[in-house]
Each structure stands twice: as C-alpha cells, then as structure tokens.
Amino acid sequence: MSKASKRGYDINDKKLFYDKELEKLKKAKEEIEWLLNRDYKIDPLVNFVSNKYQFTNRQRDAIKRSVSSYEKNTIRKSKRLPINKMNEGTIHIDGFNLIITLEVALSKGTLIRGSDDNIRDLAGLRGTYKIIDKTEEAINLIGIFLEKYSCSSVKFYLDSPVSNSRNLKYKILELSENWKMNIEVELVNNADIILENLDRVVSSDAAIIDKCISYFNISKVIIDEYIKDTNVIDFN
C-alpha cells in the first residue's frame, strides 16, 4: 500500500479560495465570461483580468478551468448524455482525467465546478503520475458506479507517455476482475486525439468535450453520490 498522500491538496487554498478572495474570483469570472461572449480569446483575457486582481498562478488556473462562454456551455450541454443511458453501449473513459479527479476529491483537495457544470482539479500533474493510497478507492468507486447503472462495456484510455501509466493499467485490470462488465484498458500515445472523435465519452477536459460526439459527466455524479465533505469551489 502506498503511503498516505493528498492529491491536489494545498494548505494555502484556505486563503486563496475563501472569503474576500472568493468574492474577487467570482467577480473576475463574471468579467472574463462577459468578454468571452464577445469573442475575446481566453488566455489573454485570463491573464489581463488576473493581473488586475493580482491573482496567484493557482487562482489563475482555477479561473481558467471555471470559465466558458454561453455558446460553449450550450454546446456542451447539448452533448451531455443522461446517466440512465450509460447501459446503451460502450463507455470510453479518459482514464487519468477521471481517476485523478476522484483522487483529489478523496484527498479533500480543491476542485473547481465550471460554468458548464463539469468538475475539474488543480493537481497540475502535467505528465507525471504515481499511484497513491487513494487510487484503489477511486477505481473501486468507478466500478460501483458503473455496475449501479448496468454498464456492459467500458474502455479506459491512458496516455502511455505519462509516468506509471502501465502500473495504473494493471491496477485497473486487477481491481475490475469481478466487475460485471467487459473492461479494456488501452495505453495510447495521446488519449485526447482518440476521445475527441468518439461518442459516449467520460471526461471533464474542455478540449475533449468540445470536440467529442457526446459525453457523460460522471465525475460530478460519483462525487455527489459517494464522496462526503469534498472541497468543490463554485465561482458561479
């Protein structure tokens, strides 16, 4: 068993995302989205408004993961499938995206609820990953959830260049041996490129859900149903 670890937890978040700072973040989000709706580009917008409020890099990252234009929210909502349709075909899971989000939730780390109602983490692993003590619980929760909604076929996609991706593959296969469904775990060079061309995708990655045919917002439902006392920040 890996030693106890808190994925995505930062003690400074108690200052960065509460009280006066939270009010500033909400105001900044409103300003950025007002401009996004008028076709301004997101990166210079986030930098410009964040400079105005003197946000830290972590606050800037949170803002960027939270904001989206009205048009994008409408498109994403139209692509989002109801959970009760999960048993109607193969589910394609963005493995690192879903598992890391749940690991952060279990670690009481900071999660951001976006305008599009998707939950995103601030773990910032960027190509590095290691299995922690929360990994097994996160995978088991996925299995409980998938069985509850009678899924018959599930395929996880893991980016092979990410460190320990092979170890995570074997961990998923080990823990899913008794799941009442067909499970595949595929190591691929770039999961995003594959997932953005599929339907029935599971991811909260904005780049993927903007391009994929359809998706399920599973992480939010698992967190709501199975994980207590999470630290989900909502700028809405």
What pLDDT, on a 0 to 100 scale, did the predictor assign at position 93?
A: 98
Q: Return the beta strands (E) in the chain as ranges.
A: 91-94, 110-113, 119-121, 153-159, 182-188, 201-202, 215-216, 231-234
Q: Which contacts (CB < 8 Å, 24+ apart) does range 161-164 have? A: 161/127, 161/189, 162/96, 162/125, 162/127, 162/128, 162/129, 163/127, 163/128, 163/129, 163/130, 164/129, 164/130, 164/131
Supply the pTM of this predicted model: 0.95
pLDDT in tens, 84-105: 999 999 999 999 999 999 999 9
What pLDDT, on a 0 to 100 scale, did the predictor assign at position 2?
A: 46
CA 115 to chain centre: 13
pLDDT in tens, 59-72: 999 999 999 999 99
pLDDT above 90: percentage of residues in the chain: 94
Question: Residue 126 — very low, low, confident or very high, per pLDDT cuts 50/70/90?
Answer: confident
What average pLDDT does this structure show over 16-42? Answer: 97
